[in-house]
Amino acid sequence: MTKEEKVQFTLETLEQLYPETPVPLDHKDPFTLLVAVVLSAQCTDERVNKITPLLFKIADNPYAMAKLTVEEIANIIRPCGLVPMKSKGIHSFSRTIVEKYNGEVPASFDALEAMPSVGHKTASVVMSQAFGVPAFPVDTHIHRLMYRWGFSNGKSVEQTERDAKRLFPRDLWNKLHLQIIFYGREYSPARGWDLERDIITQTIGRKLEIKNWYKAQELKAKKGSTSKKARR
């Protein structure tokens, strides 16, 4: 396959599997999405979605959130991990939104990334999912699969994002990045990866990745055979 054919196969397969792409983090507006995305750093979406209702019941807007103390926020979000950084960041950017942007989350990459605890990935998620601005947030699943599929060299998240934006049509970015995440979780995870279920990697994947998977299966089979003999 040519690179263009591989891209087209990937797009068509993902669209068949995931015609609908609901945002995994529960939210009702740009602010609650921003908070949820910050909480999701090194935390599962499932856990975040259990914690945010407790937090948003008390403060679901920047005015209310800014009135809470950092300690009050920390006590609620503790199960999400990285508590000191996240609680300080949420409190601080809530104050910034109130004082600088009249309580409205700014629809600007530069403005978002200038706020505490808001990096490029977080800003990209908010810009794409809250404001509909084309962006390609790269998480661990996307970074892994872009390398596994031979679409990027895996050297950095920044390079992966550049490659994704170069390869895929701009009008698909906002939906496509979610499709790749869903696919990575279901069919091509980092741990417990089963190539036989992973149709995209089977078809267009990096040859070395495929070769290494088969080697790993052979090694497992040999170890299993050895342990059986030892028990006899």
**Residue extents of the structural domains in the chain:** 1-23+133-232, 30-129
Question: Phi and psi dihedrals of 27, rounded to 5?
Answer: -165, 170
Catalytic center residues:
121, 139
Output the pLDDT for position 228.
59
Output the pLDDT for position 224.
72
Pairwise CA distance, residues 157 & 173, whole Å:
16
CATH number of 30-129: 1.10.340.30
Q: How far is CA 118 from the centre of its chain?
A: 14
DSSP states of 118-139: --HHHHHHHHHHTT--------
Q: Is the pTM of this model over 0.85?
A: yes
Output the pLDDT for position 21.
96
Residue entry with tokens 């004082």: 99
Q: Please give the CATH topology (third level) of the domain spanning 1-23+133-232.
A: Endonuclease Iii, domain 2 (1.10.1670)
Output the pLDDT for position 222.
85
The two structure tokens encoding residue 69: 């103390």
Output the pLDDT for position 193.
96
DSSP 81: S
Q: Is the dihedral of CA 38, 39, 44, 48 positive or negative?
A: negative
Contact 171, 149 (CB under 8 A): no
Asked if the domains at 1-23+133-232 and 30-129 fall in one CATH topology, the answer is no
In terms of DSSP H, where are the helices of 59-156? 62-67, 70-77, 83-101, 109-113, 120-129, 140-148
pLDDT (tens, 9 = 90+) of the chain, 232 residues, equals 999 999 999 999 999 999 999 999 999 999 999 999 999 999 999 999 999 999 999 999 999 999 999 999 999 999 999 999 999 999 999 999 999 999 999 999 999 999 989 999 999 999 999 999 999 999 999 999 999 999 999 889 999 999 999 999 999 999 999 999 999 999 999 999 999 999 999 999 999 999 999 999 999 888 876 665 556 5
Nearest C-alpha neighbor of 24 from the set 129, 161, 164, 154: 129
